[in-house]
């Protein structure tokens, strides 16, 4: 690569305006060179674009040889840099569709762009040839296992209690056991026998959420003291 020869002087030199807050508020957060290069390139490109709102599409960035050479010609690095820039608040992104193909477009995170992005999402503002896509669903975090739920809500998990929970796991869905633990806590009945009795009752008489057809008419903690094993439940 040819060494940079320095900045030219004279009245014909073009400049890109960069807000002072970039240096005081944003630059200290940036640790990846690819992110810095990408943000600066986008700022310079948007500065020269005409019309409103001003944005740049992902494919435009990918097709720019200068930017891509600066980040090692890696699309993965570009995606990572854009994600960091959005996370740090330098850019705004929207998912749009063009001729059935989805892509992201990027705005500088300033007042006018924020207002434009809101109008685009609400349908008040249309972009020629582009349709706002539906955001990808966020993956739900996995629910904690029944042993973790027990320890978090009831107390220490002894080997005997762990065995009883394993037995329950073979008989009932995990969500039932989690819910039974929570119901026991709501009645301040923090013991495994009470939890087991709740599960037995649900399996026979049904749950109030309609999981089974019938539902118990009794209410409150006393509804779990009836039946064959009611005497085993600690009050």
Are residue 101 and residue 166 in the same domain, yes or no?
no
In a domain, 151, yes or no: yes
> Is the distance from CB of 154 to CB of 91 less than 8 angstroms?
no
Are residue 58 and residue 123 in the same domain, yes or no?
yes
Look up the domain containing 193 and give its range: 146-232
Are residue 37 and residue 128 in the same domain, yes or no?
yes
> Average pLDDT over the chain, rounded to whole?
83
Question: How many structural domains comprise the chain?
Answer: 2
User: Looking at residue 22, what DSSP letter applies?
Assistant: I
pLDDT band, very low/low/confident/very high, at 1 (cuts 50, 70, 90) = low
In a domain, 11, yes or no: no
Give the N- to C-terminal CA distance of the chain in Å, as an integer. Answer: 80
Cα separation, 227 vs 223, in Å, equals 9
pLDDT band, very low/low/confident/very high, at 218 (cuts 50, 70, 90) = very low
Cα separation, 41 vs 22, in Å, equals 14
CATH number of the domain within which 74 lies: 1.10.10.10
pLDDT band, very low/low/confident/very high, at 99 (cuts 50, 70, 90) = confident
CA proximity to 186, closest of 174, 168, 198, 172: 198
Are residue 124 and residue 218 in the same domain, yes or no?
no
Q: Does pLDDT of 63 surpass 90? A: yes
Residues 6+ apart with CB under 8 A from 224: 194, 197, 198, 201, 230, 233
Among 132, 167, 184, the domain-final residue is 132
The token duo for 215 is 């539902």
Are residue 152 and residue 127 in the same domain, yes or no?
no
Are residue 102 and residue 55 in the same domain, yes or no?
yes
In a domain, 137, yes or no: no
């Amino acid at each position: 690569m040819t060494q940079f020869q320095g900045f030219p002087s004279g009245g014909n030199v073009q400049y890109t305006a960069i807000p002072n807050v970039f240096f005081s508020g944003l630059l200290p957060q940036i640790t990846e060179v690819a992110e810095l290069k990408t943000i600066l390139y986008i700022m310079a490109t948007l500065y020269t674009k005409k019309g409103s709102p001003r944005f740049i599409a992902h494919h435009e960035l990918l097709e720019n040889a200068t930017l891509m050479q600066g980040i090692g010609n890696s699309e993965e690095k570009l995606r990572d840099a854009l994600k960091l820039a959005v996370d740090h608040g330098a850019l705004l992104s929207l998912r749009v569709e063009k001729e059935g193909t989805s892509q992201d477009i990027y705005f500088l995170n300033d007042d006018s762009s924020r207002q434009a992005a809101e109008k685009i999402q609400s349908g008040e503002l249309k972009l020629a040839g582009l349709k706002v896509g539906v955001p990808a669903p966020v993956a739900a975090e996995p629910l904690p296992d029944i042993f973790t739920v027990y320890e978090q809500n009831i107390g220490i998990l002894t080997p005997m209690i762990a065995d009883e929970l394993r037995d329950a796991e073979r008989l009932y869905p995990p969500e039932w056991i989690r819910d039974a633990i929570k119901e026991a806590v709501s009645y301040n009945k923090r013991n495994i026998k009470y939890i087991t009795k709740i599960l037995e009752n649900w399996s026979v008489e049904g749950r109030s959420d309609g999981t089974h057809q019938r539902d118990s008419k009794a209410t409150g903690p006393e509804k779990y003291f009836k039946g064959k094993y009611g005497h085993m439940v600690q009050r």
